[in-house]
Structure 1
Amino acid sequence: MSNLIFNKMYFLFLIFYLKFYSLDLRRIFLCKILSKIIIESYTLFMYFCFK
């Protein structure tokens, strides 16, 4: 159940982030790096939860 909430929060955050920070090129670049980091940490989190 908690991972479902985490999923929703994660995607809401990502949508929010992309909407507000994809306004100029540097921000798009930063956003890509940050989303990569977020996705990697998220994958690690899921891995350790379901191991």
Structure 2
Amino acid sequence: MAGEQKAKGKVEETAGKAKETVGRTVGNERMKAEGQAKKSKGAARQAKEKTKEVFKH
């Protein structure tokens, strides 16, 4: 399950990065901000799973 959550975080982070880039390219600040938020959420999910792995072993 941890691997699944880590992968979900990576997908979220990648999607956020893409959305942020599109928002920046077209000049849409809202889309850029949403992308940044999604990217941060994905990174946080990955960090949480990595922390769980460290304490598991």
TM normalised by structure 1 equals 0.56
Task: Tell me whether 1:35 sits opposite 2:39 in the alignment.
Answer: yes
Q: Which runs of 4+ in 1 moved over 3 A?
A: none
Higher gyration radius (CA):
2
Unaligned runs of at least 5 residues, structure 1? none
Offset at 1:50? 2.2
The alignment of Structure 1 onto Structure 2 pairs a total of residues equal to: 43
Of all paired residues, the percent bearing the same amino acid is 2
- Greater RCO (Cα-Cα under 8 Å, separation 6 or more): 2
Q: Which residue of 2 aligns with 1:50?
A: 54
Structure-1 separation of matches of 2:30 and 2:42: 18
